[in-house]
């Protein structure tokens, strides 16, 4: 029997960016409870993009341990031998922010990309912000190679098209993403403000939710006149 597949892609927010505003993280846990059937969902944090920074991992545990069974997957001081089984045993995989391309390279070295695909197809909810939002798409925009934003084309591809996180949070994001989509250098896709989360079910957009009243997400496509067409998506404020 097929199980629904879920991805929650946050442009920014969550415990690391909004420590006093748990709305996005609580909505993620509510989704896990409904779809996975555990009052205390099993949530695994993957902080590869930050080099498994100890402070980032500690902040995750502090935020999630009161309301979930929290664990993390460390790849720089690896202790988990069977990553496939470890991720299949979760209800949520929560990917943190940082350097997207470094993260993808390390994942592929350790087989995490394959393990994530297996867990996703088994119904484990995939989620994350920034690098942890971008990684699920085919490509998007990243600062992985330095302060200048650049396109990438080799994301995991769980979701078709491209993505731009931090759409309102960093001034260069919006114009570059629109230009790349307009020129066909990136496929059409979705942009998300800080505090906005795109919720996908079975690879189709299911909802957009926000932890801030003004947070929004957008569909961005090439237009007939050589400019990008940006369509604001209906966003439900969680507050």
In a domain, residue 10? The reply is: yes
Query: What counts of helices (H) and strands (E) characterise the chain?
Result: 8, 14
Average model confidence (pLDDT) for the chain? 97
Phi, psi of 156 (to 5 degrees): -70, -30
Rounded CA gap, 221 and 153, in Å? 17
Q: Which of 16, 133, 162, 166 is catalytic?
A: 166
pLDDT tens digits for 89-131? 999 999 999 999 999 999 999 999 999 999 999 999 999 999 9
Number of domains comprising the chain: 1
| The pLDDT value given to residue 147 | 84
CATH number at residue 152: 3.40.50.880
| The pLDDT value given to residue 101 | 97
In a domain, residue 113? The reply is: yes
| Annotation says 16 is catalytic | no
In a domain, residue 1? The reply is: no
Task: List Cβ neighbours of 8 (8 Å cut-off, separation of 6 or more).
Answer: 27, 28, 31, 125, 126, 127, 128, 197, 198, 199, 200
Residue pair 148/135 in contact by the 8 Å Cβ criterion: no
In a domain, residue 130? The reply is: yes
Domain that includes residue 131, residue range: 6-237
| The pLDDT value given to residue 2 | 84
In a domain, residue 155? The reply is: yes
Kindly list the distances between the CA atom of residue 102 and the CA atoms of 83, 109, 142, 156, in Å, as whole numbers in the listed order.
Answer: 19, 11, 11, 13
How large a percentage of the chain has pLDDT more than 90?
96
User: Would you place residue 1 in the very low, low, confident or very high pLDDT band (cuts 50, 70, 90)?
Assistant: low
Average pLDDT over residues 148-157: 95
Task: List Cβ neighbours of 204 (8 Å cut-off, separation of 6 or more).
Answer: none
User: Would you place residue 5 in the very low, low, confident or very high pLDDT band (cuts 50, 70, 90)?
Assistant: very high
| Annotation says 71 is catalytic | no
Q: Which of 130, 133, 144, 162 is catalytic?
A: 130
Average pLDDT over residues 1-6: 88
| The pLDDT value given to residue 60 | 98
pLDDT at 201 over 90: yes
CA angle, corner 192, sides to 150 and 221, nearest 5? 70
Average pLDDT over residues 22-38: 97
């Amino acid at each position: 029997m097929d199980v629904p597949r879920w991805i929650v892609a946050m442009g920014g927010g969550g415990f690391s960016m909004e420590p006093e505003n748990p709305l996005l993280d609580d909505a993620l846990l509510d989704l896990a409870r409904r779809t996975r059937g555990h009052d205390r969902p099993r949530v695994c944090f993957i902080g590869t993009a930050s080099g498994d920074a100890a402070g980032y991992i500690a902040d995750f545990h502090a935020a999630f341990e009161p309301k979930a069974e929290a664990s993390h997957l460390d790849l720089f001081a690896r202790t988990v031998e069977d990553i496939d089984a470890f991720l299949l045993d979760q209800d949520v995989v929560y990917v943190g922010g940082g350097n997207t391309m470094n993260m993808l390279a390390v994942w592929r070295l350790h087989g995490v990309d394959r393990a994530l695909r297996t867990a996703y197809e088994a119904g484990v909810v995939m989620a994350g912000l920034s690098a942890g939002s971008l990684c699920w798409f085919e490509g998007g925009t990243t600062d992985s190679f330095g302060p200048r934003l650049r396109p990438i084309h080799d994301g995991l591809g769980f979701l078709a098209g491209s993505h731009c996180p931090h759409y309102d949070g960093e001034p260069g994001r919006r114009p570059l993403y629109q230009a790349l989509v307009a020129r066909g250098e990136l496929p059409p896709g979705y942009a998300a403000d800080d505090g906005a989360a795109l919720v996908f079910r079975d690879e189709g957009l299911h909802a957009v939710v926000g932890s801030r009243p003004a947070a929004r997400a957008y569909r961005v496509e090439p237009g007939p006149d050589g400019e990008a067409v940006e369509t604001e998506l209906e966003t439900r404020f969680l507050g």
